[in-house]
Amino acid sequence: MIVKRIVGPKGQVVIPKDVRDALGLREGSEVVVELRGDEVVIKRAKPEYEEESFTDYFTRTHARKLDKPVDVEKMLEEEIEERWRTSTRMSSSTR
C-alpha cells in the first residue's frame, strides 16, 4: 500500500487508519522512526519484554518479587505423587 501524505507545519504526518489498525497502533502507542537513505520507515515499537533475550529476562536481579514464599520441595513432591498416580492408573488400565 502506498499512500501520499502532506507534512504539517510541525513536521507531523497522519498515519492512515487502516495502517494503524494493521499495526495495532492506538493513541499513545510508541513507534520507531528510522531513516534509510532517502526513506523514512515508521515501525511499531516492540515492548521492552520482547527486546530482551529469554536468558536476560529470567536472570535479571530487579525482577518483581513473589508475593508469598513458595515451597519448591513440596511442589516437586506433589508433582512426583501426581505422576506416580497417573502412571499406575494407566498401567493398571492396560492389563
Max CA separation in the chain (angstroms): 81
pLDDT digits (tens, 9 = 90+) for 37-83: 999 999 888 776 556 666 766 666 665 667 788 888 999 999 999 99
Find the mean pLDDT for residues 17-42.
Answer: 91
pLDDT of residue 68: 80
* pTM of the complete model: 0.46
**Of 21, 25, 22, 45, nearest in space to 33 by CA:** 45
Average per-residue pLDDT in the chain?
A: 83
How far is residue 64's CA from residue 49's CA, in Å, rounded to a whole number?
A: 13
